[in-house]
Structures are given as C-alpha cells and as structure tokens.
Amino acid sequence: MIFLSKPAIALSCLFATLSIAAQPAAQPARRTLVRAGHLLDVRTGKLLDAQTIVVVGDTIQSVAPTAQVAAQPGDSVVDLGAMAALPGLIDVHTHLTMNPDFDPYREVTSTDAKEAINGVVNARATLLAGITSVRNVGASGYVDVDLRDAVNSGQVAGPHMLVSGPLIGITGGHCDDNLLPFRYHAVGDGVADGIAAVQHMVRQNIKYGADLIKICATGGVLSKGDDPQASQFTLEEMQAIVADAHRLGRKVAAHAHGAQGILWATEAGVDSIEHGSYINDEAIAEMKKRGTYLVPTLYLEDWMVENGHLPPYSHQKMIDVSAVAKNNIRHAIQAGVKIAMGTDAAVYPHGLNAHELDVYVNQMGMSPLAALQTATLNAADLMGWSAKTGTLEPGKWADIIAVDKNPLDDIRILQDVKFVMKGGVVYKNEAK
C-alpha cells in the first residue's frame, strides 16, 4: 500500500480540479431545419403550409410553422421550397439480396457473396426511392443480417431494416431448393419438418440475428414443383413456430396464397399474411377477429405481364394467381382486413416500390389517404415501430421524404421522390 503526504494529496487534488476545468463545455447538439412549403399529416390527411421540421441527430425534435422557428447560429437549413414533405415510406415485404432474374441456372449458381453485393446495390436504390424502412423477409445464409448491420453502422446506405434470415419451409416446398436432382442433396437453409424441427429452426434463426420469422405456409409461384393453393406446414407445426417466436419476442410473417394455408396460419397466430391470393370469407373473418395484417403484393402482377420472362414451371402459376388475386384482395380490403404495404421487390426491380400504392388506389379502390397509411401508420404498427417511425412527430426518427405535390391528389407522385432524409442524414435532394 502506498501512502501520500498531505502536500502530495493537495497537489493531486489541484491537478484534478484544473483538468476538469480544462475540459470544454458540452456543446448543444447541432440542429437541421427542414423547411417545407407543405407537410402532409398522414393521420388526418391535412396538408399544413410552411412548416419547419427541427432535426437533432437522427431524431425529430419539433414540427412547427416556419414563422415560429428562427435559425440559430450553427443551424443547417434544408429548403424544400414548395414541395410537400411526409414520412418516409415503409415496405414490409422486400428481398434486398435478390434480383428479378428468373433463369434457373442463375439461381443454382448464386452464392451468399453475390447476394451480399446485390443487397448493397438494392438497399441504396430502395432508400433513394423514398423507402426508409423495410422488412426483409427471406435471404439465404443470413446475408440480410449482415446487410442490416452494415446499414446500421453507416457502412452501407439503405433503409432501416428488420430481417428474417432464411425462409422456414417444408422439404420440397416453396422455401426449399428444388431445381437440382437428388444426387446433389440440395436443401434450403430453412427447411424443417415436424414440430421439434421447426422449433429448432426458429431458435436457430434468432441465434444468428433474425428480427422476425418468415414461414412458407403454402406453395408459391416462382418455385418448382409445388402448388400455391396447397398448404405446406400443418396447423400444429405453425402453432409451434408462432409460440416459440412470440415467446422470444419475434413476430411471424407467413407466405400464404391458398385459402386453407391462410386460415391455418391465421389460427396459429401469425402477425401477417403475405400475398393472400386465394383468400376467402372464412379466412377474412378469422383475420379480422385476430387483427392479422394482410400484405398484398399486387404490382408485381402488372410488371410481370409487361416484362416477366418466367421459366415454364412458373409461367402458368403466375397466370393462374394473377387471374384471381386482385378480386380476392379487393374483397378483403372492402371487408375491413388490415393492410400494410408490401411489394415483393426482387420479383421486379428494386426502387419501384411506390407503384404498389398506385394499384391500391386505382385498382383496389382505396382512398389515397388509406393507401398512404398502409405504407406509414399501418406498416410501422406491423413492424412494432410505431414509436419510431410512420409519422413526422417529435421523438421519432428523422425519416422525411418530399415530392412536388400532395400525394393525396395523385398517389403516383410518390414514384418520383425528390428528397430523402433517413435518420437525420440527407441521401437525396433535388429541391429546386
């Protein structure tokens, strides 16, 4: 033990006091003033004139009439002119690590490294299109986990992300690798059969970083050898999946085209039904009772008609699904099922996400405000992020986009976003 003399102790205290005094005083956080000619309240549809959004760090500090917000020394000012500002859009069904190339050879020769490169490119394209938050619902090798982390660290430009990791599905189902013959023993990363196996897969996905669980409750369109109307997991398997996921704090999204699979997944307690092409009255009633979200992915059908070149095993399935899906989804919307915007971007090029809202308004009969709410309030609720995003309010992320006019007058204006701020950082500014 070392003993100090009283003079030494006094001198030590003096140096400590001087050191503290020499520290610079904490500087107030720098403000960014986003001055908008108009601001759209997505809760009410009211368009407010001449508003200033005060951003500090990655968060909105206040929203007030511009006349009441004077610039202070050190402020940064972003002048949006006459443009209309609104919250960044949210897409709850994306595949950022995939591209719309349906050549089977490309599929079997893909690698995690190639998908990671895709993800970097597509995350940026998605953000610049005004999509500031996404759920990524399916990626091999946990590539989307790494992409999310790279975005969060600032290494890669992209939206806020919730990610699922590998899709969980049955042997030979929509989420399996079905193109190669038996001798190669190719199996999808998330394939599991039986209650014990699906519980293990849920826990494994969470172990390696998944924010949510994505399952394939029915067959799909782009996969080989399965039927979109056929159920894949049993009700008991899906109940086990949901029980484990919810207990461990994760929501569950269910790919489901067929009516029985939609019903079973809803009864099992999933949080959202993705696609819902063959939804019927029984499934609609159950979804309404439980508050389950429906995530239509409808624009891809229009894009496919004009641009799609599918292999033979998918072509007829796309025709069959497209023939019924819109009428069934329209019925579900009219019946009052909750809707959140999802696009399945990757089935068509990333960055075209807002075309989905055009379909909701001009083909499904939604009001422009209701359609916009599917990509803001409703999507934020489904993601569990209502306290973080979905509206321009103090305390939420500074995720702000701007367009040339009120999107409630023409929802298609959201296909041409001029300004994008995410988390207080400006990624795009074409203000005149």
CA separation for the pair 331, 296 (Å, rounded): 12
- Contacts of 220 by beta carbon, 8 Å cutoff, 6+ apart: 174, 226, 228, 255, 257
Q: How many CB atoms lie within 10 A of CB 23?
A: 7
Assigned token pair, 199:
């519980």
Catalytic residue among 91, 176, 214, 317: 214
The alpha-helical segments, DSSP class H, found in 339-427 are: 355-362, 368-374, 377-383
Angle at 7 between CA 5 and CA 12, to 5 degrees: 95
Assigned token pair, 393:
């309010």
Would you call 365 helix, strand, or coil by DSSP?
A: coil
CA separation for the pair 306, 277 (Å, rounded): 20
Active-site annotation holds for 432? no
CA separation for the pair 297, 172 (Å, rounded): 24
Residue 364 near residue 326 (C-beta atoms within 8 A): yes
CA separation for the pair 400, 60 (Å, rounded): 10
For helices 312-335 and 281-290, the axis angle rounded to 10 degrees is 60
Catalytic residue among 344, 358, 396, 399: 344
| Residue burial 349-358, b: 16+ Cβ < 10 Å; e: rest | ebbbbbbbbb
What is 124-181 written as a DSSP string? HHHHHTTEEEEEE---GGGHHHHHHHHHHTTSS---EEEE--SPBB-TTSTTS--SS-
DSSP annotation of 142 = G
Would you call 242 helix, strand, or coil by DSSP?
A: helix
Assigned token pair, 93:
């069904």
User: Which of 204, 348, 321 is CA-nearest to residue 257?
Assistant: 321
Active-site annotation holds for 358? no
Catalytic residues: 214, 344
